[in-house]
């Protein structure tokens, strides 16, 4: 499991670094980024917040635009941002921005032509953490967060792996992908027509069945243009209520779907996660 | 002086907005961005920090990457970011990234073909502030800051207009453009071979002659790849010492030329300016 450093910049006394590596599970070369807080060392390893980005993004959007490092440095939390899909000339793709490269939906595809590379669920839950923990001064203590498609990824991965993560948060997540155009298009392509398979990657469905209960924080802008058709936080809220789960969904008046919104509340999310990561 | 709004996003309780307008002085259409802090109103107008960006940038780099809005909202300071040059198909350009569009150097060009559009000095000091003050809930109280070529712009404009600005700061400024490749290429093209004209746009030269003394803060990363050949803060420090001026130049170990560096210290700059803006 070799990784190659391709950039590094000091930031808030810590480091932002980008790496490439050959992913076994995705069967292609991948890039990821890591923020290491000041003073992280093998003797004092930092816990890790995994950040999953939205449609069309790479490892760079969050790292450049979220304004997360001041607070993460203060809290001693590392942040890892993977890419949003397998990448490369021989990786299946689609003309739409919402399917194929840049739109992996953090699942394991079962349908041709996607099943050769599109195993982002395994990559995020297994291969990437193993790589991170082998190569950096971090502990195995993890939480997970993300935006939009990545909010869907954070919620579904966290709900399916309650022993692997301490806490879950999301900005503007696709909360009920089985019932929205983005999710239906992606699930049809990647998973075929078996609705039982779809339920395994739908946060509102998973929340109904969840046994263990991780703390969950969701922020959603009320001026988000995707709110009604694509994001459907009301399904998540209903599932939480029916199941008596504690999911804190905060509707934020006037905020949209952009990183300006994320930057406004990322400190809250970092403090939320740190309370569990640093326990 | 009509302006057209083309985007807006709520951020930290305030607003980031982009506008286009037809610039009389630049003889082309221009875009700029403004951050308005919460509660800015005609009754309680906000002071303005003008931010000048570096080579290849537009109004977007600082607004998306600097992480400035948390502190600016707290301090009640508006931020205006113009583009870095005139733009458009009929605006003279060059194949290099360091001349022509994206590289206006915040001066008034006197040489063909540049003199038809390249009057960024007049635009930043006169046309843009008049436009901002006529259209937004801001006061006429101003400070100025910038990065690299924009740090050169902030220093030279602030030094030449001590009654218009309260304070000056810069990240990694081109401190002595007459003595570096970027500056020599640009000044030769825009100003011709008259070295006396060059001195009017060289911060280290201007500091030697400065009558009024604005407070100046400069941050410079020691791991900045452009430090030795292009930026030359030692010339600025020497001019300040010879002139008994107060210029605080902070060398920051390990930091490079990127927005990761800027984001790490932008809060210091905002607090520095606010102390004078809110007097």
**Residue A244 pLDDT > 90:** no
Closest CB from B10, B70, B261 relative to A67: B70
Can you give the pLDDT at residue B92?
97
d(CA A165, CA A143): 5
What is the band of A215 on the pLDDT scale with cuts at 50, 70, 90? very high
**Residue B138 pLDDT > 90:** yes
**Residue B45 pLDDT > 80:** yes
Asked if B133 reaches chain A (Cβ–Cβ under 8 Å), the answer is no
Can you give the pLDDT at residue B238?
95
Tally of CA atoms within 13 A in the half-sphere of A132 that contains its CB: 31
**Residue A216 pLDDT > 90:** yes
Over the stretch B87-100, which tens digit does the pLDDT of each residue have? Answer: 999 999 999 999 99
Q: Which of B79, B254, B256, B260 to mutate to test the interface with A (most CBs of A within 10 A)?
A: B260
The pTM of this model reads 0.97
Contact assessment for residue A31 and residue A20, using Cβ atoms and an 8 Å cutoff: yes
Can you give the pLDDT at residue A279?
87
What is the band of A20 on the pLDDT scale with cuts at 50, 70, 90? very high
**Residue A98 pLDDT > 80:** yes
Can you give the pLDDT at residue B218?
98
Which residues of chain B make contact with A221, given a CB cutoff of 8 A? 10
DSSP state of B134: H
A244 classed as catalytic: no
Closest CB from A10, A70, A260 relative to B9: A260
For A264, name the nearest residue in chain B, comparing CA atoms only.
B12
Contact assessment for residue A37 and residue A73, using Cβ atoms and an 8 Å cutoff: yes
ipTM comes to 0.95
**Residue B260 pLDDT > 80:** yes
Q: Who contacts A78 (Cβ-Cβ below 8 Å, separation ≥6)?
A: A34, A35, A36, A37, A40, A46, A47, A48, A49, A72, A136, A138
Can you give the pLDDT at residue B245?
77
Phi, psi of B228 (to 5 degrees): -75, -45
Closest CB from A65, A70, A264 relative to B65: A65
Contact assessment for residue B200 and residue B248, using Cβ atoms and an 8 Å cutoff: no
Tell me if residue A255 falls in helix, strand or coil: coil
- Mean pLDDT rounded to a whole number for chain A: 97
What is the band of B127 on the pLDDT scale with cuts at 50, 70, 90? very high
What is the band of A68 on the pLDDT scale with cuts at 50, 70, 90? very high
Over the stretch A111-154, which tens digit does the pLDDT of each residue have? Answer: 999 999 999 999 999 999 999 999 999 999 999 999 999 999 99
Tally of CA atoms within 13 A in the half-sphere of B113 that contains its CB: 9
Can you give the pLDDT at residue B161?
96
Asked if B71 reaches chain A (Cβ–Cβ under 8 Å), the answer is no
Can you give the pLDDT at residue A209?
86
A33: closest CA of chain B, how far (Å): 14
Q: Give the Cα-Cα-Cα angle A234, A236, A241 (nearest 5 degrees).
A: 95
Can you give the pLDDT at residue A242?
84
Nearest in space to A124 (alpha carbons), one of A145, A95, A94, A93: A145
Q: Who contacts B90 (Cβ-Cβ below 8 Å, separation ≥6)?
A: B28
- Helices H, strands E: what count in chain B? 10, 9
Over the stretch B209-227, which tens digit does the pLDDT of each residue have? Answer: 877 789 999 999 999 999 9
d(CA B57, CA A185): 37
How many interface pairs between A and B have CB atoms less than 8 angstroms apart?
67
What is the band of B1 on the pLDDT scale with cuts at 50, 70, 90? confident
What is the band of A213 on the pLDDT scale with cuts at 50, 70, 90? confident
- If you average pLDDT over residues A153-174, what whole number do you get? 97
- If you average pLDDT over residues B114-135, what whole number do you get? 98
Which active-site residues of B does the annotation give?
148, 224, 257
Segment holding A14, helix H or strand E = strand A14-23
**Residue B244 pLDDT > 80:** no
Can you give the pLDDT at residue A212?
72
Phi, psi of B98 (to 5 degrees): -110, 20
Question: Can you read off the two tokens belonging to residue A257?
Answer: 């779907």
Among B107-121, B138-152, B229-243, where is mean pLDDT lowest? B229-243
**Residue B129 pLDDT > 80:** yes
Strand pairing of B28-36 and B14-23?
A: antiparallel
- If you average pLDDT over residues A10-16, what whole number do you get? 98
**Residue B255 pLDDT > 80:** yes
Question: Can you read off the two tokens belonging to residue B23?
Answer: 């610039």
């Amino acid at each position: 499991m070799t990784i190659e450093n391709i950039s590094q910049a000091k930031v808030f006394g810590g480091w932002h670094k980008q790496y490439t590596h050959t992913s076994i599970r995705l069967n292609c070369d991948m890039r990821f980024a890591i923020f290491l807080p000041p003073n992280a060392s093998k003797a004092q390893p930092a816990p890790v917040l995994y950040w999953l980005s939205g449609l069309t993004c790479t490892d760079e959007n969050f790292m450049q635009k979220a304004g997360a490092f001041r607070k993460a440095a203060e809290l001693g939390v590392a942040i890892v941002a993977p890419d949003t899909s397998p990448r490369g000339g021989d990786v299946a793709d689609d003309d739409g921005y919402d399917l194929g490269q840049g739109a992996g939906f953090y699942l394991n595809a079962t349908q041709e032509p996607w099943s050769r590379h599109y195993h982002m669920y395994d990559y995020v839950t297994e291969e990437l953490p193993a790589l991170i923990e082998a190569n950096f001064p971090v502990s195995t203590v993890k939480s997970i967060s993300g935006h939009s498609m990545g909010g869907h990824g954070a919620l579904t991965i966290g709900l399916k792996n309650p022993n692997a993560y301490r806490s879950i948060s999301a900005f503007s997540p696709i909360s009920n992908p089985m019932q929205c155009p983005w999710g239906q298009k992606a699930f049809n392509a990647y998973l075929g027509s078996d609705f039982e398979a779809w339920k395994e990657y739908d946060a509102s469905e998973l929340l109904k069945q969840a046994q263990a209960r991780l703390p969950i924080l969701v922020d959603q802008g009320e001026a988000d243009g995707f709110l009604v058709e694509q994001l459907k936080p009301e399904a998540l809220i209903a599932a939480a209520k029916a199941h008596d789960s504690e999911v804190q969904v905060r509707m934020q008046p006037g905020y949209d779907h952009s990183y300006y919104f994320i930057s406004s509340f990322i400190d809250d999310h970092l403090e939320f996660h740190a309370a569990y990561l640093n326990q």
